[in-house]
Chain A
Amino acid sequence: MSLKSTLSAATALSLITATGAFAADPSATITIATVNNGDMIRMQGYTDKFTEETGIAVEWVTLEENVLRQRVTTDITTKGGAFDIMTIGMYETPIWGSNGWLVPLDDLSEEYNVGDLLPAMAGGLSYDGTLYAAPFYGESSMIMYRTDLMEAAGLEMPDAPTWEFIAEAAAAMTDRDADINGICLRGKAGWGEGGAFITAMSNSFGARWFDMDWNAQFDTEPWANTLNFYKEMMDASGPTGYATNGFNENLSLFNQGKCGMWIDATVAASFVTGDDSTVADSVGFALAPDTGLGKRSNWLWAWALAIPAGTQQEAEAKQFIEWATSTGYIDLVAENEGWANVPPGARTSLYENPNYQAVPFAQMTLDSILSADPNNSTVEPSPYVGIQFAAIPEFAGIATEVSQEFSAAYAGQQTVEEALEKAQAITNEAMEAAGYR
């Protein structure tokens, strides 16, 4: 082939590529952006049932949580229209709802029974009393602990323990020679990782992010108590390198029998009692600890399905949301995969179901969810909604920076006092720039 014909072919191929690629798919489908976790993947497996029932095809875009957040935020703010349904959480829903970026879900069918949604979930996914996202599954956080190690330590876990007890139990269960750490907690930087944990923990120590005038509160005693308690306990009884451990790292340690206790998302209960766990038969559950100040250290979160305003397929999207978050879907999963695998934490009726009540972690999950109140999460009054976050657009950026300072303190790169000083400065500066102060 001569050079000229080679170049001509290349040009032609390039043009074909471009023109063919610009062609749009004419078929009527809805596109859903979602996260990669067990419940969401399971739902994708049942999509064919939905298509069979309704004739609506579904395209899935599954992304890692942080990538998804960036992707859907860009799409909704530029009115990109790439998605008909977005999987979002309790942080985004009220903010996006208030901006008019989401379709209100105020006309769901009677059969759907909105009243059956757990009030904490429906409340966290609403703005101004209007539901903007339907919870697919909800979670709080709780203690998962090794019953055998607790027994060997001569202790008994109360249903609602204090942090003092947890530190004592962690020290008693720690056996460095056997590679057993008394307690595993998140320390990894990131507002949704270690940032979420320490914020929820700080609530139980009487701390808050902001006072009623949006002034940062990291220079107060409750924050110093929170961080010092966390660091001392983790240095004494936590795993090596805990400053970089997140959900997955701790799940891995717990499943290998290397954690006496783990305080994290209730959704992890099915993992630590599942097939991949080496300690599945000796796991107990308890409420997240407190310090007697009236607030526990558990959070509240839901992955929910929302429709971006401006979608061309609003009716079809609503149909899917009604299907995926219905009691019928829960029954479908239970029938095929057992009650332990149904999406938890969204509907009251699930917890009234005797079949589900037999699942070992069901009651503690419900109790944890019910004990979390995003509208009243702190001991002292605060101006924000949210437990492990403050539902303002600036929070994610600020909390990521603050959690980086905290992680540096956990790793011994700076003192707790230095981390808190920096957190105070970072937060006040950002809030001033954003016009809150």
Chain B
Amino acid sequence: MARSVTTKRKMITTAAAWTIGLIIFFPIYWTILTSFKTEAQAINDPPLFFAFDWTLENYAVVQERSDYMKFLWNSVIIAGGSTILGILVAIPAAWSMAFVPSKRTKDILLWMLSTKMLPAVGVLYPISLIFVEFNLLDTRGGLVVVLMLINLPIIVWMLYTYFKEIPGEILEAARMDGATLKEEILYVLTPMAIPGIASTVLLNFILAWNEAFWTLNLTASTAAPLTAFIASYSSPEGLFFAKLSAASTMAITPILILGWFSQKQLVRGLTFGAVK
């Protein structure tokens, strides 16, 4: 009896998980499917699921109109650069908060997180003026710094959570063996936290890749990443849904592949510690 209840529960849970998964995946599936339709088929009512003439025309048009590789390269540089820089800043910060906390550590952590609650547009003008003043507009370097700062609270929080799980005694033992602070972080703490660092890196890379406010507002032609590439196919006056879908598919494919191969680390990153 007990066995059959367990099986039934398992089946319900599995069915529910698949249903939720399919619902979440449906917009991506629909985008990919639409990218292979003509513009007329894309708006057909009732919607066409499979019975249509599949075409690669939209991809050809998008390739002809836009320099995809330039946008892709900018995305890689901006997302990669901001992630690396963020990790370099966040590891020492998280170390100090986890192992040498002060009375105000928790307040600082909460304050850092609260900056994520500020609507980005609220600081559009100050940031834009700083960019103009320092000649950073439409530069990848400027965006690397901005995206690093935007995602830093999340990186620090995640690393702090991982570091808190590492017994302080291990670091103390290293210190007793004569390890300097640098050696303690580099050779003792970091290797033990590699899984946590890896999932933090992945999550931050995805966040930076998908960021679409600053990457649109602080770029023009030189540093524009894939978010700008997608935005160039959106139009309130003209039906370009199939082309927009093709551009979107091309923009999300690299990150989908990365996500697919690193899903184990991502799941761990998203369900671990403070963000679980």
Contact in complex: B129, A78 (CB < 8 Å): yes
* A17 smallest CB distance to B (angstroms): 4
A67 touching B231, Cβ below 8 Å? yes
Contacts A19-B141, A21-B144 hold; do A59 and B221 have CB atoms under 8 A apart?
yes
Q: Are A80 and B85 in contact (CB under 8 A)?
A: no
Contact A64 B144 (CB under 8 A): no
Separation of A10 and B82 alpha carbons in the complex (Å)? 11
Cβ 8 A contact of B144, one of A18, A83, A258:
A18
The answer to whether A433 has its CB under 8 Å from any CB of chain B is no
Would you call A80 and B81 a contact (CB within 8 A)? no
Known contacts A44-B65, A63-B234; can you find 17 more A-B pairs with CB under 8 A? Answer: A3-B187, A7-B186, A14-B144, A17-B141, A36-B234, A37-B238, A61-B220, A63-B232, A64-B231, A64-B234, A67-B216, A70-B217, A78-B125, A79-B132, A82-B138, A83-B220, A248-B239
Chain B residues contacting A11 (CB-CB under 8 Å) are: 84, 88
Cβ-defined contact, B45 with A258, below 8 A = yes
B139 at interface by CB-CB < 8 Å? yes
State whether B233 touches A14 (Cβ < 8 A). Answer: no
Q: Enumerate 19 A-B pairs (CB-CB under 8 Å) in ascending A order.
A: A3-B190, A10-B84, A25-B222, A36-B240, A64-B235, A64-B236, A65-B237, A74-B124, A74-B217, A192-B236, A251-B238, A251-B239, A252-B45, A255-B40, A256-B44, A258-B45, A271-B238, A276-B38, A276-B239
Residues on A with C-beta less than 8 A from B39 are 276
Q: B residues within 8 A CB of A356? A: none
CB closest chain-B residue, reference A77: B125
Query: Interface digits, A23-43 against B, CB 8 Å rule (1 contact, 0 not)?
Result: 011000001010111100100
- Residues from chain B with a CB closer than 8 A to the CB of A82 are 137-138, 220
Contact between A4 and B220, CB atoms less than 8 A apart: no
Instruction: Give 1 or 0 for each of B230-262: 1 = CB within 8 Å of chain A CB.
Output: 011111111110000000000000000000000
Does B84 lie within 8 Å of A252, measured CB to CB? no
With A13-B84, A25-B222, A31-B221 already in contact, the answer to whether A80 and B131 are too (CB < 8 A) is yes
Interface residues of A in 227-241 (CB under 8 A from B): none
Check B81 against A14 for contact (C-beta < 8 Å): yes
Main secondary structure of the interface of B (DSSP, over half): helix
From 87 to 143 in chain B, residues with beta carbon under 8 angstroms from any chain A beta carbon are: 87-88, 124-125, 128-129, 131-132, 135-143
How many residues from A make CB contacts under 8 Å with B? 58
- Contact between B220 and A33 (Cβ–Cβ < 8 Å)? yes
Report the separation of the CA atoms of residues A25 and B81 in the bound assembly, to the nearest whole angstrom.
20
B237 touches A248 (CB 8 A): yes
Per the bound structure, the CA–CA distance linking A327 and B186 in Å amounts to: 68
Interface residues of B (CB under 8 A from A): 38-40, 43-45, 65, 77, 80-81, 84-85, 87-88, 124-125, 128-129, 131-132, 135-145, 186-187, 190-191, 216-217, 220-224, 228, 231-240
In whole angstroms, what is the CA distance A13 to B87 when docked?
Answer: 13
Which residues of chain B have C-beta atoms less than 8 A from A255's C-beta? 40, 43, 239
Q: How far is the CA of A14 from the CA of B87 in the complex (A)?
A: 11
* Given A14-B81, A67-B231, also A74-B125 (CB < 8 A): yes
Judge whether A371 is part of the interface by a CB distance below 8 angstroms: no
> Which one, B132, B136, B143, contacts A81 given CB within 8 A?
B132
Q: Of all chain A residues, which has the CB nearest B42?
A: A252
Q: Which residue of B lies closest to A35 (CB)?
A: B235
Q: How far is the CB of B144 from chain A (nearest CB, A)?
A: 6
Q: Encode A240-257 as 1/0 by CB contact (under 8 A) with B.
A: 000000111001100110
Inter-chain contact B235/A65, CB cutoff 8 Å: yes
Is B45 in contact with A256, judged by CB distance below 8 angstroms? yes
CB of A46 within 8 A of chain B? no
Beta-carbon contact of A22 and B139 below 8 Å: yes
B65, A41: Cβ atoms closer than 8 Å: yes
Q: Which of A292-329 contact B (CB under 8 A)?
A: none
Chain B residue at minimal CB-CB distance from A74: B128
Give chain A residues whose Cβ lies under 8 Å from the Cβ of B239: 248, 251-252, 255, 271, 276
The answer to whether A61 touches B221 (Cβ under 8 A) is yes
Which chain A residues lie closer than 8 Å to B231 at the CB level? Answer: 62-64, 67
